[in-house]
Amino acid sequence: MAEGQEALLAKIKEQGDIVRSLKAAKESQEKIQQEVSKLLALKAQLGAENAVPQKFTLKTAKGTRDYNPQQMTIRNNVLDKIITVFKRHGAECIDTPVFELKDVLTGKYGEDSKLIYDLKDQGGEILSLRYDLTVPLARYLAMNKINTLKRYHIAKVYRRDNPAMTRGRYREFYQCDFDIAGQYDPMVPDSECLKVVTEILDVIDIGNYVLKVNHRRLLDGMFEACGVPDDKFRSTCSTVDKLDKATWEEVRTEMINEKGVTPEAADRIGEYVRLNGGIDLAEKLMKDEKLAKSKSAIEGLEGIMLLLKYCEILGIKDKILFDLSLARGLDYYTGVIYEAVLTQPIKIGKEEQTVGSIAGGGRYDNLVGMFDSKHKQVPCVGVSIGVERIFSVLEAKLAAGDISVRTSDVDVYVATAQKNFLEERLRVCAELWNAGIKTEHSYKKNPKMLNQLQHCEENRIPLAVVLGESELKRGLVKIRNIVTRQEDEVPRESLVDELQTRLASMNIKQINGPAK
Amino acid sequence: MAEGQEALLAKIKEQGDIVRSLKAAKESQEKIQQEVSKLLALKAQLGAENAVPQKFTLKTAKGTRDYNPQQMTIRNNVLDKIITVFKRHGAECIDTPVFELKDVLTGKYGEDSKLIYDLKDQGGEILSLRYDLTVPLARYLAMNKINTLKRYHIAKVYRRDNPAMTRGRYREFYQCDFDIAGQYDPMVPDSECLKVVTEILDVIDIGNYVLKVNHRRLLDGMFEACGVPDDKFRSTCSTVDKLDKATWEEVRTEMINEKGVTPEAADRIGEYVRLNGGIDLAEKLMKDEKLAKSKSAIEGLEGIMLLLKYCEILGIKDKILFDLSLARGLDYYTGVIYEAVLTQPIKIGKEEQTVGSIAGGGRYDNLVGMFDSKHKQVPCVGVSIGVERIFSVLEAKLAAGDISVRTSDVDVYVATAQKNFLEERLRVCAELWNAGIKTEHSYKKNPKMLNQLQHCEENRIPLAVVLGESELKRGLVKIRNIVTRQEDEVPRESLVDELQTRLASMNIKQINGPAK
């Protein structure tokens, strides 16, 4: 490395320290920017990036991971089940780019905006990686002037959060969303979203769960009734949202010390948020003296009652819990909100793991309007399935030996004990492939018989075709059942039929329960 | 906007012009960087991005697009067919993050490196969006010390290229790769890759095609025999690669003027690259006086002959063309290379469209070693299916009315002419959903019968359940066939069975041929 460059690198480090100390001291934005601009100028002087000394570490980016074939099998298996449910409810599929103009994301996520990944300014547009699939959906609806859409979208989103990878929290992770956009009658699409969640959680069979529901208008009315000023509704709401992780005492302290709620108001809120129940609770609250005075509270309660009625008709009443402590973090919800949580820890090997929230969503009627030049609204309600948590539970079960996974679909392996039989193997493989049979063989010219059979066992390939010179001369080949080790001679010319008959009678699964 | 900011914006524009003019004048890198650093400093002064005046344009980022439900149906349909072929050959599925440490991509793409999207330095690692799926595969193999893998990977990749969206060239686009890694016998996995390509192109049925093959060692030997110096092999090779778009005269000029090849050498190359044929051509070239002296040429020719022999056994000989003009752009190929091209323009509506290359790949034995600290090699061969071109052809056919697409899978619509029948509809829907029947109904309380039937026709929903008070009192419901308009009364209690029987006898396709 040139000496001049070393000096430059030292300067960059020094300047970086200055910026960091200013930030730590929470100095004025102006002062920080001034020093940042010096830092950028120094970095630019470094010139082409190949001049930077490279200490190469072989890894994926922080907070990201590869999916290996076992993980992909689990993932695709779960997603297939979810998509089946989405399609059963008539959802169409869309996709949007992984990055958006930064302006599209600006002002949508409140405090969390700092977690957005920006792209480098390489000349041209200023871009950011998508943070969720909801804002791109709203952009899509507004841009294409679409008023009604029932869509699902499964894709990765990006957040520069502190990763907790063992618990399934990554910087790059899947979202799996189902949303209904359109001007419809109250709670009809909303209740269908809840039905969708129950169908998915039932088919994935991950454990007992409860679907908590609440209503943003009721929360607003409750804050109003408790004496919280209008402009503090949202921030008080995000404090209430922490009740699933923190005690009421902690939440109360945050309300008073950080959000400027009076102790009296906080205590009144505290009485409400410990309430949960069914339609009877909603009816009781309708008669609550303080809430009855709030138009929003009445609106919210009427909404909840209608929703609970529809849920009863849909046969999912026993899975729903009206819970006044449910608040949800995001600003954009305007109506019903909901969250599915597992009611008991999951057993993985000999350990138990608490999973928590596994799906969530709600109504957001004003988001699309933020993108429309005339602020035309398209009301929306949707749900996001927490697939990463589901994946991480299943991966832990795999690691603990509770389940086993088959990563390739191969049904037939073409083997031989004979030397110089590669061409014959190729010929048979081509015939099977052309018949649509999932087939493999060794890419070695003269593989050992033992290795070939071992490959079948390791990959749970159910059948092998064993080619031998003497059999072929008699117009025969052997079919070997890998599990039972039984071998049958069949006519070479009816090999395809014979294999198809046998395969049709086998029940080959991708994911199996406890391994023997 | 503050006046100071306006002045600053003017300065930024001015400074931007200076940088652009320096770049246009191909000034020294040092001089350009100096002015770029000034520009960056000015931009940094602008401060937090919310201070930047926002002229909000509702669009996706340049060179990217949304996929609407019709496009997604086409896309998923094509990908499903491709995945079926990949799985038939025993491929497992993996996935890697959308971004990699920039160092992983550095030095892998030659001149094209300038097209890589970098992420902004937000503190932490320096990241770039993936440029293809091959380099991440090599990183994955080296990082996990995997010696053998047959995998497919379907994901979006990113190139800051000039988009030509009508021709299916985007900055964000799908790649669809099948690769075989491992130390195997010559041309066995290579020929299987060609078989995979033919199976895919046959099942997608996009038109007649030819699979051109060549060998990098033969190209090297040819350059050697023609008198091109060693250090000019790669750059001469990328010039030859342009022969699919440019005339020989143009390629010859570039070789001589830009790549420093002598006119005599260029003319000798010109004689070779017009050759193509089958195994007989390879045999003839083995006897070519100039080539016979080159070890690489002989190696390449032997490889080609073995490959062609295996292709004959695999029954795909008539689709393969040994073509000495095939060079492929990427540096990392070390053995066989191939490319599938459509042999005739595709008819779309009344127009004809030339599509060109639709799949390509080859052997790259040294890429994994670039990531291994001990430079341990894992030989690889693979193929990438040009799905974006396939999508764009099918989308054009859709636009021209040559094909039609059904974007949702719904089989049954629950309708009524009765007012206040929402709850009854919900009850029936829940029953059908629980039976796994893909069902929809109106989210309106009192929808008009005509609108409900219209919805069925527009979305090609084959059956409607029509609920009426008088029928229900008699324990009956009507099933309506949307196409024939025939209505049958069936017992309410056997509705699920009746629907399942009818649906089983229908043949409902997602994509149909010419619309009536």
How far apart are the CA of A115 and the nearest CA of chain B, in angstroms?
10
pLDDT at A51: 38
* pLDDT value at A49 more than 70: no
Q: Do A188 and B313 touch (CB under 8 A)?
A: no
Q: Percentage of residues in chain A with pLDDT exceeding 70?
A: 95
Structure tokens at B365: 């034995």
The Cα–Cα gap between B422 and B426 comes to: 6
Q: Using one digit for the tens of pLDDT, what is the confidence trace for A110-136?
A: 778 889 999 999 988 999 999 999 999
Q: Which two tokens stand for residue A510?
A: 């991708």
Model confidence at B44, in pLDDT bands (50, 70, 90)? low
Q: Which residue has the higher pLDDT, B235 or A306?
A: A306
Q: Which of A444-448, B39-43, B393-397 has the lowest mean pLDDT?
A: B39-43
> Residue A53's pLDDT is what?
38
In this prediction, residue B55 carries a pLDDT of 53
Say if the Cβ atoms of A97 and B60 lie within 8 Å: yes
**Structure confidence by residue, pLDDT tens digits, A229-252:** 988 888 888 888 888 888 999 999
Please list, in sequence order, all residues whose beta carbon lies within 8 angstroms of the beta carbon of residue A145, skipping any fewer than 6 positions away: none
Dihedral (CA of B424, B426, B428, B430) sign: negative
Residue range B114-139: mean pLDDT, rounded: 95
The residue whose two tokens read 């697009």 is: B65
> What type of residue is A324?
L
pLDDT of residue A21: 83
What pLDDT score does A48 carry? 38
B466 by DSSP, 3-state: which?
Answer: strand
- CA–CA separation, B39 and B51 (whole Å): 17
Q: Which of B28-37, B270-279, B507-516 has the largest mean confidence?
A: B270-279
Residue B451, pLDDT score: 96
* CB-CB under 8 Å, A33 with B44: yes
The alpha-carbon gap from A508 to the nearest alpha carbon of chain B, in Å, equals 15
Enumerate residues 6+ apart whose C-beta is below 8 A from A328: A241, A337, A339, A360, A362
Helix B188-204 vs helix B69-88: angle between axes, to the nearest 10 degrees? 140
pLDDT value at B46 more than 80 = no
**Confidence check: pLDDT of A385 > 70:** yes
| CA distance to partner chain A, nearest, from residue B242 (Å) | 28
d(CA B472, CA B468): 6
The span from the CA of A235 to the CA of A142, in Å, is: 28
Top residue of A39, A49, A58 to mutate, by most chain B CBs within 10 Å, is A58
Instruction: Check B54 against A409: CB less than 8 A apart.
Output: no
CB contact under 8 A, A120 and B122: no
Q: Which pLDDT band, with edges at 50, 70 and 90, does B43 fall under?
A: low
Q: How far apart are CA B70 and CA A88, in angstroms?
A: 18
CB A452 within 8 A of CB A442: yes
Closest partner residue to B69 among A50, A127, A151, by Cβ?
A: A151
Q: In one letter, which amino acid is B487?
A: E
Write down how long chain B is: 516
Helix (H, G, I), strand (E, B) or coil at A448: coil
Q: What pLDDT score does A516 carry?
A: 40
**From CA B44, how far away is CA B33, in angstroms rounded?**
16
User: Do the bridges between strand A476-481 and strand A463-467 make them parallel or antiparallel, or are there none, so unpaired?
Assistant: antiparallel
Mutate to test the interface with A, among B408, B416, B460, B510 (most CBs of A within 10 A): B408
Q: Given B45, B49, B433, which is nearest A195 (Cβ)?
A: B433
Which of A370-379, A502-511, B215-224, B456-465 bottoms out in mean pLDDT, i.e. has the lowest? A502-511
Contact residues on chain B for A195, CB-CB shorter than 8 A: 430, 433
Tokens 């001589």 found at = B256
**Residue B53, pLDDT score:** 38
* C-alpha distance from B417 to closest chain A C-alpha (Å): 17
Q: Are B384 and B200 in contact (CB under 8 A)?
A: no
Distance CA A444, CA B173 (A): 35
What's the token pair of residue B32? 């350009």
Residue-wise burial string across B139-149, b where 16 or more C-beta atoms lie within 10 A, e elsewhere:
bbbbbeebeeb
- A75 contacts in B (CB within 8 Å)? 95
- Check CB contact under 8 Å for A189 and B443: yes
Spatial distance between the Cα atoms of A345 and A360, rounded to a whole number of angstroms: 19
Sign, Cα dihedral of B141, B145, B147, B149: negative
Residues 6+ apart with CB under 8 A from A497: none
User: What is residue B48's predicted lDDT score, i.e. its pLDDT?
Assistant: 38
β-bridge mates for residue B490, sequence order: B477
Average pLDDT score over residue span B313-323 = 97
Rg for chain B, CA atoms, rounded? 30
Whether residue B172 contacts residue B156, with contact meaning beta carbons closer than 8 Å, is answered with: yes
Angle at A509 between CA A516 and CA B192, to 5 degrees: 115
> What is d(CA B429, CA B440) in angstroms, rounded to the nearest whole number?
7
Average pLDDT over residues A217-233: 93
Q: Is the pLDDT of residue A50 over 80?
A: no
Query: How far apart (Å, rounded) are the C-alpha atoms in residues B258 and B243?
Result: 16
pLDDT for residue A427 is more than 80: yes
Q: Do A92 and B408 touch (CB under 8 A)?
A: yes
A381/A193 Cα distance (integer angstroms): 8
Distances A428 to A423, A441, A445, B113 between C-alpha atoms, Å: 9, 10, 15, 44
Q: What local confidence, expressed as pLDDT, does residue B168 receive?
A: 73
Tell me if B170 sits within 8 A of B152, measured CB to CB.
no
Residue A3 is predicted with a pLDDT of 53
What radius of gyration do chain A's Cα atoms show?
30
In 3D, which of A512, A514, A516 has the Cα closest to residue A70?
A512
Token reading at B436: 């796994």
Q: Is the pLDDT of residue B50 over 70?
A: no
Structure tokens at A58: 């072989």
Q: What is the pLDDT of residue B359?
A: 96
Please tell me which residue of chain B has the smallest CA distance to A104.
B58
Count of C-beta atoms within a 10 Å radius of residue B241: 20
Maximum Cα–Cα distance across chain B: 95
Taking residues A406-428, report their average pLDDT.
95
Partner-chain contact B61 A29, CB within 8 Å = no
Contact A156 B90 (CB under 8 A): no
The CA distance from B105 to B98, in Å, is: 12
Q: Does pLDDT of A393 surpass 80?
A: yes
As a whole number, mean pLDDT of residues A338-352 equals: 89
pLDDT tier for residue A438 given thresholds of 50, 70 and 90: very high
For A56, which residue in chain B has the nearest alpha carbon? B103
Mean pLDDT of B104-120: 88
DSSP assignment string, B64-88: ---B-HHHHHHHHHHHHHHHHHHHH
pLDDT-derived band of residue B442, with 50, 70 and 90 as boundaries?
A: very high
Angle, CA A380 vertex, CA A106 and CA A101 arms, to 5°? 25
Best CA proximity match to B319, nearest among B335, B336, B343:
B343
A chain contacts of residue B47, beta-carbon cutoff 8 Å: 29-30, 33
Structure tokens that stand for A466 in this block = 């064993």
A10-19, A185-194, B102-111: least confident range: A10-19
Tell me whether residue A351 is exposed, middle or buried, using C-beta atoms within 10 angstroms of its C-beta: 0 to 12, 13 to 18, 19 or more: exposed
Per-residue pLDDT tens digits for B145-188: 999 999 999 999 999 988 777 777 899 999 999 999 999 999 99
How close is the nearest chain A Cα to the Cα of B42, in Å?
Answer: 8
Strand pairing category for A412-416 and A463-467: parallel
Q: How confident is the model at residue B228 (pLDDT cuts 50, 70, 90)?
A: very high
ipTM exceeding the 0.90 mark: no
| Residue B173, strand partner residues | B157
Q: Where are the alpha helices (DSSP H) in A258-331?
A: 263-273, 279-286, 289-292, 295-313
Distance (Å, rounded) from C-alpha B354 to C-alpha B245? 12
- The whole-angstrom separation of Cα A160 and Cα B260 is 48
Q: Which of A424, A506, A410 is nearest to A469 (CA)?
A: A424
Across the interface, whether the CB atoms of B45 and A61 are under 8 A apart is answered no
- The answer to whether the CB atoms of A103 and B151 lie below 8 A apart is no
Distance, in Å, from the CA atom of A368 to the CA atom of A376, rounded to the nearest integer, reads 8
Non-local (6+) Cβ contacts of A370 within 8 A are A107, A108, A138
- Crossing angle between the packed helical segments A233-240 and A248-257, to the nearest 10 degrees: 160
| Single-letter residue type at A384 | S
CB neighbours of residue A103 within 10 Å: 18
pLDDT at residue A55 greater than cutoff 60: no
Residues with Cβ within 8 Å of residue B49, at least 6 apart in sequence = A102, A106, A126
d(CA A88, CA B409): 7
Closest alpha carbon within chain A to B98: A172
What is residue B52's predicted lDDT score, i.e. its pLDDT?
37
Å between B223 CA and nearest CA of chain A: 31
Query: How does the average pLDDT of chain B come out, rounded?
Result: 90
Distance from CA of A386 to the nearest CA of B (A): 19
- Reported as a single tens digit per residue, the pLDDT across B453-502 is 999 999 999 999 999 999 999 999 999 999 999 999 999 999 999 999 99
Q: From the list B47, B76, B96, which residue is nearest A93 (CB)?
A: B76
**DSSP codes, B398-411:** HHTTSSEE------
| pLDDT, mean of residues A2-12 | 67
A92/B103 CB distance under 8 A: no
At B484, the amino acid letter reads T
